[in-house]
Chain A
Amino acid sequence: MLTYADRLRSMRETKVRHTLEKREQNGYTDLDDFGTVPISEGYEVEPWYNSSNGSFYGYDGMCENFCRVMDAHEPYVDPMEMLCGRWRDMLVNYRGDVHYLPDWLKKKPKIMEMMKSATDQWSKRWDEQRFPYDHLKPLQAKYNIQTGIDSDAHFACDYRIGFELGFGGLLDKISKYREINPDKKDFYDAEERVVHAIIRFIDRHIEKIRQMIPEEQRPEIRESLEEMLDTCEAVRTGAPKTFRQACQWTAFFNCAARVYTRDGAGFQLDGLLLPYYENDVKNGILDDETAKFLIANLLLIDPHYYQISGVDENDRDMTNRLSYLILEAADSIDIACNLTVRVHENCDREFLRKAIYYLLKNKNGWPRFCNDKALAEGYMRCGVDKKTARERIAVGCNWMCVPGKEYPMNDTVKINIAKVMEVALEELRGCEEKSTEKLFEIFEKHLRIAIDVTAQGINLHIDHQWEVTPELVMNLLMNNTLEKGEDISQCAELYTVGIDGAGLAVVADSFGAIETRIEKEGVLSWECMYSALDNNFFDERTRLILNSAPKYCGGNNVSDAWAKRLTECWVRNIRAQSMPEGRQLIPGWFSWARTVEYGTKVGATPNGRRAGEPISHGANPNPHFRTDGAPTAQSLGIASVQCGYGNTAPLQIEFDPGVKADDEGIAIIESFIKGHFEGGGTLININILDGEKLLEAHANPDLHPDLVVRVTGFTAYFASLSPKFRQLVVDRFLQGI
């Protein structure tokens, strides 16, 4: 008889196989795993284009293609699992955006033919024919701005809405408000069709399970399939009533959200599922082992960001029995996993220690940790109440969101401040007076322009997103949407829009190097520096003179001071940017996984960085920031550059502390986390790595296809990453030892 442990082992093996198969189909992907399974033979989608530029937009375009992609999805039922459903493909792939087009789709001649028949526009995600922004493009390029225009998702659903209504209830809600808002027919038609497509998806699973049951010889698996069938039938239209049904409902909804445009975000896992758990346990229909298996299964289906633990609006600890079971479940399957533990002084210390134990034991980059105090207090400075601030949970790489209420676009809008500095340096070249003060003055002037043009872009996006990429799946679980007949981009309660700066360390170290070597020591002249930048450090000694100046995170040095000053400048100007009524900008520091791409846009910089080399990662320091690479120095430096309005400047750290998963090792990591958070840090994306295994996998990824690393906020299978990206992770690791 197969035990849960046997079944989990089998599920994990299948996952590893899928990871390798997906790499065959898609090539390397420097992205989250997203829980996809490989495309099966014969999979075909005939996209429908409603724009003359060869793409599709708006309620009808998005809805029709969602239904087509969804209907093309085969059911996924693994008899080893208790839950079913997986996604394989998303409709945005058919918009002709080669940036997102996977290898397997590019190989389909028919698709490529259709693409060619359209205009030669590179990206067709945004409908530029109707909503052009050519007037913004020169400045966006000048400052290397990631505009956010055409981005989607990056907000969080309130799953309570779905749990309460089920898909049938959502249809009823659509019908009800359709009557109230007759002028919103297009919206309600689209939403209704979306829900029906999800129900059809469930129906195909029901059909598949029915076919599998008679063929299943193992009694315990047959019984499990029968329960799976009952569960699917219950959640087909009904609201989930049990723990298992809530998990299955979540799995189906998540699959649909992912198919839409890889959308979605998780929720407070130990909060929303708790009533189901308690009720089922009370009724004697659920034991802890089964609950753990179901959670592990849910985590396997999709590595969404889920938050656990934390405190409520009255500062009361929310850690509960289920919080512990979730950690144990994640341990039992130990795959790419984006669990964030919310840390607060009132929280159960034993829980935090247990979370750290798994981080040390498995060395697979989970969980990560966020700081309630800094995040909640920061967000309250945006004018929200404490209850709302507490509801704002960790559901993305670097970002938080108030489920159901907020449309933040977090992690989609960025300014490469290394590029802004490059522009400033160029202007300074023509000035008679040259100083770091003058450079800073010019830098701030250009930063203001960059922020203004970024704001214009975001506002264009928010104004028209509903006509381009309405969030038809996520709208179902948001406040106001179905009630008003509007896309969430039109009717969110909170428009606290995140803007992240990228390249902080490059800029801080550049200012620090100029101040140290040119202004204080006189070792170099401005002319000599400009000449070195122009010839990309033809003279290595000049480069080293600049590069060996004290670096940000070195500890109370000149570049640390510049990093703080840059942060103050960044925050001040972003908060000063005027926005339409009801919208505000929230500053943060984060580059996501775009350090390589941003680096290619910036020439040589005064910190000794050569032209085209990657810029620094998020709020992290540059390589060799201290000879001892002290994680505490890094932590202190990053804690000192927090922007203070509820968005993060994450501490991204990977190291092999050589400590065991025992009391002593746990105490060390606990001290580290608490030290960072007491200093004001917001989020720790942490990799405790097995150095030997990492280096082996770098040489031959197939040796360890199960090795997971936290690339930025997200985790990824190391074997799926491109060699260049693997090198980045290895380099960061080598600095940390």
Chain B
Amino acid sequence: MADGIIADIQRASFHDGYGIRTTVFFKGCPLRCEWCHNPECISPRPQQLFYADKCIGCGGCAEGCYAGARVVCGREMTAAEVLEQILPDRPYYRDGGGVTFSGGEPLMQREFLAECIALCKEAGISCAVETCLLYFDEDIFRSLDFVMADLKIWDSATHKKYTGVGNERIIENFKRLNALAVPIIARTPVIPGIDQGIDRIGEFLRSLDNVKKYELLPYHSMGNAKRVALGEPLTEFSVPDKEYMKELEKYAYIR
């Protein structure tokens, strides 16, 4: 059995797909989105985060930090161990709920992901993946109940500027995924100040009949504290106000 590197397992998530879900955050991501709210999931290796505000200055770091100031993110787990963490929430999944494999980019740990999905399926648990769609694995996608995929910026050069990669392959993978007839929830994080071309993205997504839902997610700054804890530089973005989100609402849809 392959071991995976998991950043965190969050129970009772209401925003990562349908119903009540358990979200498994994989470590490692090929993108470098400047606004990333899970920066601790970018590196594929375990990392230590230091939250200075929680440090009580006891000097006992070597013996272990109990203040929550020094936190290690990333632990090796087997798929069976992941399943064990998921199972308690099974009574709450009922119609629609289940597991969302997120990250990071879960498809960066393809073999491990496939194993996790297989175990969940055996246990009768609905599975979804939240992906940047830079990678494509037909077997994995076919085994899922739905896929959540991001299309962050329409213009490839701008996409590359803010995420480190162009979006040609992502757009291509959207089309390939659509052809698999797996339901897709598409999402765009709304970052004021960047010309994301949300109208164009919306138009493109509407042309794909398996995109059942297009969600616009307002940027929030909750990732900043983690970035500081990782010792990484911050890029400041502003949080979109309600009016701005309302203006964009016309592009979002459910069908």
Indicate if A705 sits at the interface (CB-CB under 8 A): no
Whether B11 contacts A626 by the Cβ 8 Å rule is yes
Whether B66 contacts A541 by the Cβ 8 Å rule is yes
Question: How far, in angstroms, from A545 to B88 measured CA to CA in the complex?
Answer: 27
Q: Which residues of B contact A382 (CB under 8 A)?
A: none
Residue of A nearest to B60 (CB): A541
Main secondary structure of the interface of B (DSSP, over half): loop
Question: How far, in angstroms, from A671 to B95 measured CA to CA in the complex?
Answer: 8
Q: Which residues of B contact A631 (CB under 8 A)?
A: 12
Indicate if A140 sits at the interface (CB-CB under 8 A): no
Instruction: Identify which of A5-13, A29-37, A123-131, A674-682 touches chain B.
Output: A674-682
Instruction: Choose from A541, A544, A658, A672 the contact partner of B20 (Cβ within 8 Å).
Output: A672
Whether B19 contacts A675 by the Cβ 8 Å rule is no
Indicate if A635 sits at the interface (CB-CB under 8 A): yes
Q: Give the distance to chain B from A530, nearest Cβ to Cβ, in Å.
A: 19
Whether B11 contacts A675 by the Cβ 8 Å rule is no
Whether A540 contacts B20 by the Cβ 8 Å rule is no
Question: How far, in angstroms, from A179 to B67 measured CA to CA in the complex?
Answer: 75
Q: Which residues of B contact A623 (CB under 8 A)?
A: none
Having A626-B11, A630-B12, one finds 11 other A-B pairs with CB under 8 Å, namely A540-B58, A541-B67, A544-B66, A630-B89, A632-B11, A632-B92, A635-B92, A659-B14, A671-B20, A671-B94, A674-B94
Whether B56 contacts A672 by the Cβ 8 Å rule is no
Whether B88 contacts A544 by the Cβ 8 Å rule is no
Indicate if B221 sits at the interface (CB-CB under 8 A): no
Indicate if A664 sits at the interface (CB-CB under 8 A): yes
Whether B94 contacts A675 by the Cβ 8 Å rule is yes
Indicate if B97 sits at the interface (CB-CB under 8 A): yes
Instruction: Choose from A541, A628, A658, A671 the contact partner of B15 (Cβ within 8 Å).
Output: A658
Whether A630 contacts B10 by the Cβ 8 Å rule is yes
Q: Give the distance to chain B from A630, nearest Cβ to Cβ, in Å.
A: 4
Q: Which residues of B contact A675 (CB under 8 A)?
A: 20, 91-92, 94
Which one of A635, A659, A667 has the highest number of Cβ atoms from chain B below 10 Å of its Cβ?
A: A667
Q: List 13 A-B contacts (CB under 8 A).
A: A628-B10, A630-B89, A632-B12, A632-B92, A633-B89, A667-B94, A668-B19, A668-B20, A671-B96, A672-B92, A674-B94, A675-B91, A679-B91
Indicate if B240 sits at the interface (CB-CB under 8 A): no
Interface residues of A in 614-640 (CB under 8 A from B): 626-628, 630-633, 635-636
Q: Give the distance to chain A from B16, nearest Cβ to Cβ, in Å.
A: 12
Indicate if A691 sits at the interface (CB-CB under 8 A): no
Indicate if A136 sits at the interface (CB-CB under 8 A): no
Whether A678 contacts B91 by the Cβ 8 Å rule is yes
Question: How far, in angstroms, from A670 to B10 measured CA to CA in the complex?
Answer: 20
Per-position 1/0 for A545-583, Cβ under 8 A of B: 101100000011000000000000000000000000000
Q: Which residues of A contact B56 (CB under 8 A)?
A: 540-541, 544
Instruction: Choose from A556, A628, A668, A678 the contact partner of B11 (Cβ within 8 Å).
Output: A628
Q: Which residues of A contact B20 (CB under 8 A)?
A: 632, 668, 671-672, 675
Whether B88 contacts A633 by the Cβ 8 Å rule is yes
Question: How far, in angstroms, from A594 to B214 measured CA to CA in the complex?
Answer: 47
Question: How far, in angstroms, from A667 to B14 measured CA to CA in the complex?
Answer: 11
* Given A667-B96, A668-B19, A630 contacting B11 (CB threshold 8 A): yes
Indicate if B251 sits at the interface (CB-CB under 8 A): no
Q: For chains A and B in complex, what number of residue pairs have CB atoms within 8 angstroms?
A: 81
Q: Which residues of A contact B64 (CB under 8 A)?
A: 523
Indicate if A657 sits at the interface (CB-CB under 8 A): yes
Interface range on chain B: under 10, 10 to 19, 20 to 34, or 35 or more?
Answer: 20 to 34
9 nearest A-B residue pairs (beta carbon): A630-B11, A675-B92, A630-B12, A544-B66, A541-B58, A632-B12, A671-B94, A675-B91, A548-B66
Indicate if B162 sits at the interface (CB-CB under 8 A): no
Per-position 1/0 for A448-488, Cβ under 8 A of B: 00000000000000000000000000000000000000000
Question: How far, in angstroms, from A541 to B60 measured CA to CA in the complex?
Answer: 8
Interface residues of B in 1-48 (CB under 8 A from A): 8, 10-12, 14-15, 18-20
Q: Which residues of B contact A667 (CB under 8 A)?
A: 18-19, 94-96
Question: How far, in angstroms, from A309 to B92 measured CA to CA in the complex?
Answer: 23
* Given A657-B14, A675-B94, A632 contacting B66 (CB threshold 8 A): no
Q: Give the distance to chain B from A95, nearest Cβ to Cβ, in Å.
A: 47
Q: Give the distance to chain A from B113, nearest Cβ to Cβ, in Å.
A: 21
Q: Give the distance to chain A from B61, nearest Cβ to Cβ, in Å.
A: 11
Whether B12 contacts A633 by the Cβ 8 Å rule is yes
Instruction: Choose from B10, B18, B68 the contact partner of A548 (Cβ within 8 Å).
Output: B68
Question: How far, in angstroms, from A630 to B63 measured CA to CA in the complex?
Answer: 29
Indicate if B93 sits at the interface (CB-CB under 8 A): yes
Q: Which residues of A contact B94 (CB under 8 A)?
A: 667, 670-671, 674-675
Question: How far, in angstroms, from A678 to B91 measured CA to CA in the complex?
Answer: 8
Question: How far, in angstroms, from A631 to B11 measured CA to CA in the complex?
Answer: 8
Q: Which residues of B contact A555 (CB under 8 A)?
A: 11, 88
Which one of B10, B19, B20, B97 has the highest number of Cβ atoms from chain A below 10 Å of its Cβ?
A: B20
Question: How far, in angstroms, from A633 to B56 measured CA to CA in the complex?
Answer: 29
Instruction: Choose from B11, B67, B95, B96 the contact partner of A544 (Cβ within 8 Å).
Output: B67
Residue of B nearest to A633 (CB): B11
Q: Which residues of B contact A540 (CB under 8 A)?
A: 56, 58, 67
Q: Which residues of B contact A547 (CB under 8 A)?
A: 66
Residue of B nearest to A678 (CB): B91
Q: Which residues of B contact A628 (CB under 8 A)?
A: 8, 10-12
* Given A633-B88, A636-B88, A671 contacting B19 (CB threshold 8 A): yes
Q: Which residues of A contact B68 (CB under 8 A)?
A: 548
Q: Give the distance to chain A from B82, nearest Cβ to Cβ, in Å.
A: 14
Q: Give the distance to chain B from A558, nearest Cβ to Cβ, in Å.
A: 16
Whether B89 contacts A632 by the Cβ 8 Å rule is yes
Question: How far, in angstroms, from A627 to B10 measured CA to CA in the complex?
Answer: 9
Residue of B nearest to A547 (CB): B66
Question: How far, in angstroms, from A626 to B63 measured CA to CA in the complex?
Answer: 23
Residue of A nearest to B10 (CB): A628
Residue of B nearest to A636 (CB): B88
Question: How far, in angstroms, from A727 to B120 measured CA to CA in the complex?
Answer: 41
* Given A544-B67, A545-B66, A548-B66, A671 contacting B12 (CB threshold 8 A): no
Interface residues of B in 50-78 (CB under 8 A from A): 56, 58, 60, 63-64, 66-68
Whether A671 contacts B10 by the Cβ 8 Å rule is no
Residue of B nearest to A665 (CB): B14
Q: Give the distance to chain B from A120, nearest Cβ to Cβ, in Å.
A: 48
Residue of A nearest to B95 (CB): A667
Question: How far, in angstroms, from A635 to B20 measured CA to CA in the complex?
Answer: 13
Q: Give the distance to chain A from B123, nearest Cβ to Cβ, in Å.
A: 16
Whether B93 contacts A668 by the Cβ 8 Å rule is no
Residue of B nearest to A543 (CB): B66
Q: Give the distance to chain B from A345, nearest Cβ to Cβ, in Å.
A: 13
Q: Give the distance to chain A from B190, nearest Cβ to Cβ, in Å.
A: 16
Question: How far, in angstroms, from A523 to B94 measured CA to CA in the complex?
Answer: 42
Per-position 1/0 for A212-251, Cβ under 8 A of B: 0000000000000000000000000000000000000000
Q: Which residues of B contact A671 (CB under 8 A)?
A: 19-20, 92-97
Q: Which residues of A contact B10 (CB under 8 A)?
A: 628, 630
Per-position 1/0 for A653-697, Cβ under 8 A of B: 000011100001001101110110011000000000000000000
Q: Give the distance to chain B from A182, nearest Cβ to Cβ, in Å.
A: 61
